[in-house]
């Protein structure tokens, strides 16, 4: 055995491991899906023989308790199972999808949501969740964008750590916690073309500076487990990557939990062309450092023989089993936590629903408002139309495993409840579901619009159109929604467009037809009441985009932290394609990094979001114009609420390293604060920037902070113009301060 590998293991791990047979150690490395309706005899036998260490998706309480009883009372060593579940953004209480949680720019809200989910899921007999997902992506075609925190590594890192803390609590052995799982390690969000499971081609610098920081933040937050990614990076599947799993995760970061494969991702290395067969896949996965195999059977089929033929060392099996046993001890599965407790998730408690509503309120982003919002509660007649206005299922979003539609308050129901009988609500869905092309319901929706003073149009995409395996090449409103919107707009009644979706959609043309646009994502159980409160001014919108919205699919990838190029478009006079003369000279339109037909700006930039009040930024100041390595520089700005409504603003700080040994992004988020101000109130908002956090990985893969000129911006989104400069001096220039 090699127990010197981790001095922080639970003290009982070594003793238990010393009494286990090779087969029992391998059994800890095997995870299978739970049965439905009963427990087959073969599964009972495997549990008695200690050949299964974990199960997932065991949803029937009686079966969950019986499985655990067999493992503990009928096996030789009585090692309990760790039972997992995809508790992605809630258990019975469904919170906004993770991308929407990121739009709150409030990590504490995400931590609170995860804490509620852990309480509900642990009561249902689960010990482990396969969340949070922290894959950075800059391609909204990718369906799993809904499950992550957007395009920025700094923002995603804060949310990753917050959700780990929420799931795991302060004591992992407490009966109301879940072991968290940082997934998918790594580079999954960089899949080519936004096609799920596809290959990723990433330089080591990009991997370390953009895609890995959220995982490092999760490890620093003591995440219990890490899941490998389906994709390959530069020709090596992540599930077989010694570089990722042993060098970076274990050696560099000191991760001491266990690594689990994604669903059959070990077996799928054969499809990748990286492994000859299941035996080869098992060998490469365990050598890379995958401790537990999810669902496929290459470990149970081949590891014993691979040890017998000395193709792998038994010490690798000891390491893997020890990692798993340690987490089981830390979870309190050997005594502190009640094992035979499992129940169908109960009806959400009032406090859980309040937290869900608060998260939804802060996640919804106001993208456009010509002054129509907030609507007056005294409005005489309102038409509520669109396929998502009264659907209690679709607002719950992807990975809704345990939520119930009977708990959902739809937007229509919430509006009726808020306004009461004093306002006449005319409702017509117009379409049965978002993808429908049936126009027979259009006439009723259009008639409602004609009779109303204002239309609230709920558009978007169903839950099934985002999430795992659900990439889209076209990001328009699906089905006949845009046609319905055209016909409603033709009535001349002003439209408030509310978009409910699991990703950024291409909504430029739709937004032109609306007087106001709210982006509601998939907001969860209490999304309806949150939207009603915002539409009618009970609260002001304060969400900010965690992802850039493209104008067209051909603009993808488009993200704020891009490189400048040698010909940045904002520095040149450019002619667009429709304005160019026939037979124009080749260079007469302006040669720059842009598209002739849509330019270079996105539809909406990262960090963008409007309010019902007006926030003004002024008096940006730095504590020093020059700083030394190791110093902290203070940046301050005056924020004033010059409008008429109390509201929250997310103040954002961006920095650019102007010149580096490797070219740097034009801007990088380095800080943000949520500030609430009353009308007429102002406040000095201060940021403290540690120079040690202004670095990057150079060509030698060393993290360096290089001296030179830095530009700093503070404002309400990534295109803020209020700026200042400072210089970071080399140590030898200390006398020049």
Whether residue 34 is contained in a domain is answered as no
Whether residue 355 is contained in a domain is answered as no
Q: How far is CA 2 from CA 260, 314, 315, 317, 404, in A?
A: 20, 10, 6, 10, 47
Residue 116 phi, psi dihedral angles, 5° rounding: -60, -45
Q: What are the residues facing 366 on neighbouring strands?
A: 518, 610
Condensed to tens digits (0 to 9), the pLDDT of residues 387-397 reads 999 999 999 99
Whether residue 261 is contained in a domain is answered as no
For the chain, percent of residues with pLDDT exceeding 90: 92
Q: Which helix (H) or strand (E) holds 55?
A: strand 54-56
pLDDT band (50, 70, 90) for residue 91: very high
Tell me what the mean pLDDT of segment 209-228 comes to.
98
Whether residue 670 is contained in a domain is answered as yes
pLDDT band (50, 70, 90) for residue 8: confident
If 0-12 CB within 10 Å is exposed, 13-18 middle and 19+ buried, where does residue 277 land?
exposed
pLDDT of residue 6: 55
pLDDT of residue 737: 35
Model confidence at 590: pLDDT above 90: no
Could you tell me the CATH number of the domain that includes residue 658?
2.60.40.10
pLDDT of residue 374: 98
Q: Which of 212, 201, 210, 264 has its CA nearest to residue 236?
A: 201
Residue 571 phi, psi dihedral angles, 5° rounding: -95, 0
| 132 preceded by a cis bond (ω within 30 of 0) | yes
Q: What is the CA radius of gyration of the chain?
A: 27
pLDDT of residue 2: 43
If 0-12 CB within 10 Å is exposed, 13-18 middle and 19+ buried, where does residue 641 land?
buried
For the chain, percent of residues with pLDDT exceeding 70: 98
Cα 183 from chain centroid (whole Å): 10
Model confidence at 361: pLDDT above 90: yes
The single residue listed with the structure tokens 């957007």 is 150
The single residue listed with the structure tokens 């916690």 is 177
Model confidence at 137: pLDDT above 90: yes
pLDDT of residue 465: 98
Residue 664 phi, psi dihedral angles, 5° rounding: -115, 160
Tell me what the mean pLDDT of segment 210-229 comes to.
98
Catalytic residue selected from 86, 135, 262, 390: 262
271: how many CB neighbours lie within 10 A of its CB? 12
Selected residue with higher pLDDT from 318 and 579: 318
Condensed to tens digits (0 to 9), the pLDDT of residues 491-550 reads 999 999 999 999 999 999 999 999 999 999 999 999 999 999 999 999 999 999 999 999
Model confidence at 377: pLDDT above 70: yes
DSSP class of 434: T
Residue 153 phi, psi dihedral angles, 5° rounding: -70, -30
Q: How far is CA 663 from CA 234, 626, 656, 720, in A?
A: 22, 22, 11, 22
Whether residue 710 is contained in a domain is answered as yes
pLDDT of residue 7: 62
Helix (H, G, I), strand (E, B) or coil at 62: helix
Selected residue with higher pLDDT from 537 and 337: 537
Model confidence at 331: pLDDT above 80: yes
Model confidence at 573: pLDDT above 80: no
Identify the domain containing residue 625 by its residue range: 615-736
- The overall average pLDDT reported for the chain is 96
Q: How far apart are CA 103 and CA 148, in angstroms?
A: 11
Model confidence at 733: pLDDT above 70: no
Residue 318 falls in the annotated catalytic set:
no
Whether residue 228 is contained in a domain is answered as no
Letter string b/e over residues 414-447, b meaning 16 or more CB atoms within 10 A of that residue's CB: bbbebbeeebebbbbbbbebbbbeeeebbeebbe
Q: Which of 42-56, 245-259, 575-589 has the lowest mean pLDDT?
A: 575-589
How many domains does the chain divide into? 1
Q: How far is CA 262 from CA 118, 250, 297, 667, in A?
A: 21, 18, 13, 34
């Amino acid at each position: 055995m090699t127990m010197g590998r981790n001095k922080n293991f639970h003290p009982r791990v070594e003793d238990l491991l010393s009494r286990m047979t090779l087969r029992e150690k391998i059994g800890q490395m095997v995870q299978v899906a739970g049965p439905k309706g009963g427990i087959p005899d073969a599964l009972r036998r495997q549990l008695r023989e200690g050949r299964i260490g974990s199960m997932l998706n065991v949803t029937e309480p009686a079966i969950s308790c019986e499985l655990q009883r067999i493992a503990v009372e009928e096996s030789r060593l009585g090692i309990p199972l760790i039972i997992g579940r995809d508790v992605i953004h809630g258990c019975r209480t469904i919170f906004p999808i993770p991308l929407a949680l990121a739009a709150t720019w409030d990590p504490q809200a995400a931590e609170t949501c995860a804490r509620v989910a852990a309480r509900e899921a642990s009561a249902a007999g689960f010990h482990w969740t396969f969340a949070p997902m922290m894959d950075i992506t800059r391609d909204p075609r990718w369906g799993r964008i809904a499950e992550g925190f957007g395009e920025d590594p700094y923002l995603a890192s804060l949310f990753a750590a917050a959700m780990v803390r929420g799931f795991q609590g302060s004591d992992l052995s407490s009966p109301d916690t879940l072991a968290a799982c940082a997934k998918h390690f790594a580079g999954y969000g960089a899949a080519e073309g936004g096609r799920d499971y596809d290959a990723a081609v990433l330089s080591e610098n990009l991997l370390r500076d953009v895609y890995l920081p959220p995982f490092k933040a999760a490890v620093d937050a003591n995440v219990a487990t890490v899941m490998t990614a389906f994709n390959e990076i530069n020709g090596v599947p992540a599930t077989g990557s010694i570089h990722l799993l042993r060098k970076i995760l274990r050696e560099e970061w000191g991760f001491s939990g266990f690594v689990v494969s994604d669903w059959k991702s070990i077996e799928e290395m054969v499809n990748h062309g990286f492994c000859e067969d299941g035996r080869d896949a098992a060998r490469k996965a365990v050598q890379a450092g995958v401790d537990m195999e999810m669902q496929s059977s290459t470990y149970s089929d081949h590891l014993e023989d691979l040890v017998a033929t000395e193709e792998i060392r038994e010490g690798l099996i000891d390491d893997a089993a020890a990692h798993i046993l340690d987490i089981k001890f830390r979870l309190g599965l050997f005594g502190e936590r009640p094992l035979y407790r499992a129940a169908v998730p109960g009806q959400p408690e009032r406090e859980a629903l309040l937290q869900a509503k608060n998260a939804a309120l802060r996640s919804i982003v106001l993208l456009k408002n010509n002054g129509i919002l907030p609507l007056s509660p005294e409005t005489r007649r309102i038409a509520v139309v669109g396929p998502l206005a009264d659907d209690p299922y679709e607002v719950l979003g992807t990975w809704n495993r345990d939520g119930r539609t009977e708990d959902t308050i739809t937007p229509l129901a919430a509006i009726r409840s808020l306004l009461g009988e004093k306002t006449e609500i005319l409702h017509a869905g117009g379409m049965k579901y978002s993808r429908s092309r049936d126009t027979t319901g259009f006439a009723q929706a259009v008639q409602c619009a004609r009779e109303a003073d204002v239309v609230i149009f709920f558009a978007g995409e169903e839950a099934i159109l985002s999430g795992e395996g659900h990439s889209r090449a076209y990001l328009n409103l699906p089905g006949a929604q845009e046609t319905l919107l055209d016909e409603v707009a033709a009535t001349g009644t002003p439209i408030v467009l509310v978009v409910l979706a699991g990703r950024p959609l291409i909504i430029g043309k739709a937004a032109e037809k609306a007087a106001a646009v709210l982006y509601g994502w998939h907001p969860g159980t209490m999304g309806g009441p949150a939207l009603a409160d915002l539409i009618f001014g009970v609260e002001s919108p304060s969400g900010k985009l965690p992802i850039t919205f493209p104008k067209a699919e051909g603009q993808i990838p488009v993200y704020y932290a891009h490189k400048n190029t040698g010909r940045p478009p904002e520095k040149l006079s450019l002619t667009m394609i429709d304005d160019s003369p026939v037979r124009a000279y080749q260079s007469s339109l302006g040669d720059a990094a842009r598209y002739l037909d849509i330019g270079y700006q996105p539809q909406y930039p990262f960090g963008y979001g409007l309010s019902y009040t007006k926030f003004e930024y002024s008096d940006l100041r730095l504590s020093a114009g020059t700083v030394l390595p190791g110093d902290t520089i203070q940046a301050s700005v005056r924020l004033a609420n010059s409008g008429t409504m109390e509201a929250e603003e997310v103040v954002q700080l961006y920095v650019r390293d102007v010149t580096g040994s490797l070219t740097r992004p034009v801007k990088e988020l380095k800080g943000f604060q949520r500030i609430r101000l009353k009308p007429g109130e102002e406040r000095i908002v201060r940021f403290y920037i540690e120079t040690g956090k202004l670095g990057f990985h150079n060509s030698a893969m060393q993290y360096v902070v290089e001296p030179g000129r830095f530009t700093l911006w503070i404002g309400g989104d990534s295109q803020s113009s209020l700026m200042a400069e400072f210089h970071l001096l080399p140590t030898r220039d200390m006398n020049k301060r």
